[in-house]
């Protein structure tokens, strides 16, 4: 049989180094599925439960490997299901290619079944490149351009392939007018700012007396350079969520997370600094950065479009974080006065005690912070962490101490619910020898996680090390938003929208042939983690946690807390519990050593 357009498509993806595709079939891509079936040498097809999860997995593949992630879905409904995961990738600047089917060319424009205007549908999320193939000779450059543009722009691109076209014979573009002649291959360039701009940046940083650094996902490959620069500048370093793995947390000057999910040392450092150096971050909340005029700013980003939008920085450097920091180093002068650095280190040391006290404080039955606090020292070397959106993101951000070699991610920019388990699955496929831990709320489990566990059950035996632990915070509540409603709008909990139905997560895992552990006693947590991390198969650790423990911003004072507790929660169905837990939290912050 001659080679079809679909056979060629798979071969070309393989030429580009694409070894795994996350997808789900449908008659809009029958030709492509047929090509998978025929091919001896092909990317692995990983079957998901919902196309959104295929897109999350492609995004996570890109995040954890630096390679392009690829997802595949049928026309109409399958393509539509991809969207949220693709926006997640777009938001966090990940190279992801979506391949989707379409109605046959002869039927297009005829309101045919499952015909959706896909070029328009994807025009926003894949605005850098979305095209439909209409003749076989187009396939080569559509694949080449979709992948190259995804990599070069670190974004989402999309190829639409009508189902009848997939089965036609493949054709090379003829040597003729009106043809395109493309090839594979892309190497990431070395991007360094001009020398005069490095000097301008150095002038700002050398003049400052109290330098604060903020690093994000762009600094993940720049750990040593960040440490060297911070040492010379006597700076403290805060980490945006996606930059959690950029620096180990045992460094005394690392203030940890920032923002609503952040730490007090990060907050205080930003409020008191006179100079801000941002590296590879688009952390969104300007109110957690210095006031305009309070500090001079320098920003480094590989994407010029992302510069000077959160803080009016004075020197904006387009460059790779690692290369740019290295190029900057020779111009920096070591701060002789280390008082600022010492203040930060003291505040960090004290904060870890606050976190411990908060984690150990009583709750009904389990304080969610304790679940993370107990995990932290048990994190296996080189583990990969994912968190869903929800209260877990707070404790993930604050309580876990990262060490070198670990990776961690979540949906940073889109902050969507649902990626916790899919990210973890993609991490296992990419690094089957590493331990992966997902941290997920019960709402997110019921949205995607429970279905994702079926995918885990289907594939885990293929993984060299089968350990994938899914922590479920079982609090019967959409807790993060319940708290946001209380704190931001002053509304009591609306049970109709916020309650989450009880579900036996651990027992369900056992039903799937996985391990399930249910914990409802704080003292049993340590043992439960040990057991989960020693399991001979993927494990769901279901922790029954207290929804009344507030995931609050770090800088609220005791006075504000008391007022907020007494006035805001009138009429809240959890009134007694939240007042008690909120006040306990603040007491732990003010006097962490109190017994």
User: Which residues here bind ligand TPP, judged by CB under 6 A?
Assistant: 388-392, 415-418, 441-444, 473, 475, 477-481, 500
- For residues 464-493, which are near Mg ion according to CB under 5 A? 475, 477, 479
Which of Mg ion, ligand TPP, none does residue 417 bind (CB under 5 to 8 Å by kind)?
ligand TPP
425 vs 430, which CB is nearer to ligand TPP? 425
Q: Are 503 and 443 in contact (CB under 8 A)?
A: no
Which of ligand TPP, Mg ion, none does residue 480 bind (CB under 5 to 8 Å by kind)?
ligand TPP
119 vs 487, which CB is nearer to ligand TPP? 487
SS3 534: coil
Which of Mg ion, ligand TPP, none does residue 376 bind (CB under 5 to 8 Å by kind)?
none
Q: Are 265 and 349 in contact (CB under 8 A)?
A: no
Nearest 10 degrees: CA dihedral of 386, 390, 396, 397? Answer: 110
Element (H, E) at 275: strand 275-279
Instruction: Name the minimum Å distance from CB 469 to ligand TPP.
Output: 17
Instruction: Name the minimum Å distance from CB 479 to Mg ion.
Output: 5
450 vs 479, which CB is nearer to Mg ion? 479
Instruction: Name the minimum Å distance from CB 494 to Mg ion.
Output: 15
- For residues 405-444, which are near Mg ion according to CB under 5 A? 441-443
- Per rule CB under 5 A, count of chain residues that contact Mg ion: 6
Q: Please give, one letter per residue, the 3-state secondary structure of 53-90.
A: HHHHHHHHHHHHHCCCEEEEECCCHHHHHHHHHHHHHH
Instruction: Name the minimum Å distance from CB 476 to Mg ion.
Output: 7
* Cα dihedral 583, 587, 592, 595 sign: negative
328 vs 425, which CB is nearer to ligand TPP? 425
- For residues 81-140, which are near Mg ion according to CB under 5 A? none
20 vs 493, which CB is nearer to ligand TPP? 493
Question: What is d(CA 13, CA 213) in angstroms, rounded to the nearest whole number?
Answer: 40
SS3 185: coil
* Cα dihedral 396, 510, 462, 526 sign: positive
Buried b (16+ CB within 10 A) or exposed e, 507-525: ebbeebebbbbbbeebebb
Comparing CA positions, the residue from 541, 562, 540 lying closest to residue 550 is: 562
Which of ligand TPP, Mg ion, none does residue 254 bind (CB under 5 to 8 Å by kind)?
none
Instruction: Name the minimum Å distance from CB 413 to ligand TPP.
Output: 12
Which of Mg ion, ligand TPP, none does residue 578 bind (CB under 5 to 8 Å by kind)?
none
Name the residue with tokens 């960090």.
348
Instruction: Name the minimum Å distance from CB 397 to Mg ion.
Output: 17
Instruction: Name the minimum Å distance from CB 368 to Mg ion.
Output: 9
SS3 102: strand
283 vs 395, which CB is nearer to ligand TPP? 395
Instruction: Name the minimum Å distance from CB 117 to ligand TPP.
Output: 24
348 vs 528, which CB is nearer to ligand TPP? 528
Pairing of strands 315-318, 254-257: unpaired
Interface residues toward Mg ion, by CB under 5 A: 441-443, 475, 477, 479
């Amino acid at each position: 049989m001659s080679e079809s357009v679909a056979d060629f498509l798979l071969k070309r993806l393989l030429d580009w180094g694409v070894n795994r595709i996350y997808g789900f079939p449908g008659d809009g891509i029958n030709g492509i599925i047929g090509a998978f079936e025929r091919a001896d040498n092909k990317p692995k097809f990983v079957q998901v439960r919902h196309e959104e999860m295929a897109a999350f997995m492609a995004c996570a593949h890109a995040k954890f490997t630096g390679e392009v992630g690829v997802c595949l879905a049928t026309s109409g409904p399958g393509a539509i299901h991809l969207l949220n995961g693709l926006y997640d990738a777009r938001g966090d600047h990940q190279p992801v290619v979506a391949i989707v089917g379409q109605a046959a060319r002869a039927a297009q424009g005829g309101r045919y079944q499952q015909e959706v205007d896909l070029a328009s549908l994807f025009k926003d999320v894949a605005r850098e490149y979305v095209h439909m193939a209409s003749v076989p000779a187009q396939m080569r450059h559509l694949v080449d351009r979709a992948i190259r543009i995804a990599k070069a722009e670190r974004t989402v691109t999309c190829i639409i392939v009508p189902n009848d076209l997939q089965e036609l014979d493949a054709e090379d573009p003829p040597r003729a007018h009106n043809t395109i002649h493309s090839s594979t291959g892309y190497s990431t360039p070395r991007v360094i700012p001009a020398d005069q701009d490095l000097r301008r940046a150095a002038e700002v940083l050398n003049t400052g007396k109290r330098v604060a650094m903020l690093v994000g996902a762009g600094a993940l490959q720049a750990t040593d350079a960040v440490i060297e620069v911070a040492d010379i500048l006597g700076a403290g370093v805060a980490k945006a969520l996606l930059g959690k793995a950029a620096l180990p947390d045992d460094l005394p000057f690392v203030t940890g997370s920032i923002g609503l999910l952040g730490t007090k040392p990060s907050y205080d450092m930003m409020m008191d600094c006179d100079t801000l150096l941002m590296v590879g971050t688009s952390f969104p909340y300007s109110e957690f950065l210095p006031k305009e005029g309070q500090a001079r700013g320098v920003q480094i980003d590989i994407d010029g479009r992302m510069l000077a939008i959160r803080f009016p920085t004075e020197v904006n450097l387009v460059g790779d974080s690692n290369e740019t920091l290295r190029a900057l180093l020779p111009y920096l002068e070591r701060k002789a006065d280390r008082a600022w650095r010492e203040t930060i280190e003291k505040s960090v040391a004290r904060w870890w005690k606050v976190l411990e006290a908060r984690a150990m404080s009583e709750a009904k039955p389990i304080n969610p912070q304790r679940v993370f606090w107990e995990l932290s020292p048990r994190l296996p070397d080189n583990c990969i962490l994912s968190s869903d959106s929800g209260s877990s993101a707070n404790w993930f951000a604050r309580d876990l101490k990262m060490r070198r070699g670990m990776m961690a991610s979540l949906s940073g920019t889109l902050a969507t619910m649902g990626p916790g388990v899919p990210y973890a699955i993609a991490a296992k496929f990419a690094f089957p020898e590493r331990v992966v831990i997902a941290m997920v709320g019960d709402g997110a489990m019921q949205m995607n996680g429970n279905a994702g566990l079926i995918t885990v059950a289907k594939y885990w035996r293929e993984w060299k090390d089968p350990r994938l632990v899914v922590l479920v915070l079982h609090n019967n509540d959409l807790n993060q938003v319940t708290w946001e409603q209380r704190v931001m709008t002053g509304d009591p909990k609306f049970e109709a929208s916020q309650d989450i139905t009880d579900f036996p997560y651990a027992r369900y895992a056992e039903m799937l042939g996985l391990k399930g552990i249910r914990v409802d006693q704080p003292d049993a947590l340590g043992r439960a983690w040990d057991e989960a991390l020693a399991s001979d198969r993927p494990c769901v650790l279901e922790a029954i946690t207290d929804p009344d423990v507030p995931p609050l911003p770090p800088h609220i004072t005791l006075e504000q807390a008391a007022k907020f507790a007494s006035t805001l929660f009138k009429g809240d169905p959890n009134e007694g519990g939240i007042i008690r837990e909120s006040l306990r939290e603040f007491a732990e912050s003010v006097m962490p050593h109190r017994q």
